[in-house]
Structure 1
């Protein structure tokens, strides 16, 4: 499977990128770093700069059709930047239109809200997004991982870095189920 990891050029929470990325690699699948700019992205450990990572694909030059799933890592600045980028929002929405699985952790549901894909769905996130999710027509729950498969696709959400083990296990299982479905 080919899995897109969508990030802004700056502000992704490093562990929320590298944890799922390594899980995808360990499963024998191909993670692809997609961003709004070419070059490298700057990750953070909360508010401190961490490592940089090379961008593989650029929004606007790649489509959701070329991926089997999407991972949206958090960090406060990352989804805040993505949700004001029309091409990034459209890219996210396309996964839902295609019925492909999406996994989002921490603050990443901000991008889902902007893509208008949380209505009538149950999801979790960092607690400060609770009201935003409710205002967008979703139902917020305080759970380590929430799998919502009652829409056009499967949505896997998680609250924070402490939940990464459960998040990674769930996204791998759900992505594998999706890839096993007949086209």
Structure 2
């Protein structure tokens, strides 16, 4: 039995996500027994990217308008530039992210994924990292940005880039295993 058996995890993503930032965390949590659902803005398939080259297409399990944070034990937010930039313009997607914080559930974001955390207004006073190009956005949203491989702050796990995936995945699993973070602030 895996460390995450009985846990259900959402990965919120849309076209233009960095493929390895979806596939590697998804494999890591599935290997530990978690059920994983890809949640997106539309049904059908979404387009992954390998940096600036098109990657594979992935089937969407649920649309953001048909789910609730209460359906899941945790949330993963992959990066890629286009993915979070599109997601953060969707009110339902932003509310979905914010609801995980309101419910004190683990949230993990890598690379440009923290743009969703900026939009959800959940970074005030938190220590976080991200891809360096969104550092100013994170700071302007009240986050304490640091240049570290992986940062965990009250159930929020963040990393900078695909090179950090091994450390990121280990902390994602650890935080999901711990579950609710009652001291977590929204």
Same fold (TM over 0.5): yes
SS in 1 for 2:89: coil
| Greater shift in the superposed pair: 108-117 or 171-180 | 171-180
TM-score after normalising by structure 1: 0.94
The answer for the alignment partner of 1:178 in structure 2 is 179
Unpaired runs of 5+ residues, structure 2, are 1-6
SS in 1 for 2:97: helix
The answer for the alignment partner of 1:31 in structure 2 is 36
SS in 1 for 2:179: helix
Q: C-alpha separation between the residues in 1 aligned to 2:61 and 2:67?
A: 10
Q: C-alpha separation between the residues in 1 aligned to 2:133 and 2:17?
A: 17
From 124, 142, 150, the equivalent of 1:119 is 124
**Once the 2 structures are TM-superposed, how far is the Cα of residue 129 of structure 1 from its aligned partner?**
1.1
**Once the 2 structures are TM-superposed, how far is the Cα of residue 125 of structure 1 from its aligned partner?**
0.4
| Greater shift in the superposed pair: 124-133 or 171-180 | 171-180
From 147, 150, 153, the equivalent of 1:145 is 150
- Where do 1:54-69 residues align within 5 Å? 54-69=59-74
From 134, 143, 149, the equivalent of 1:129 is 134
- Where do 1:15-94 residues align within 5 Å? 15-94=20-99
Number of matched residues? 176
**Once the 2 structures are TM-superposed, how far is the Cα of residue 161 of structure 1 from its aligned partner?**
0.1
Q: C-alpha separation between the residues in 2 aligned to 1:68 and 1:178?
A: 7
Structure 1 ranges of 4+ moved more than 4 A: none
Q: C-alpha separation between the residues in 2 aligned to 1:57 and 1:45?
A: 23
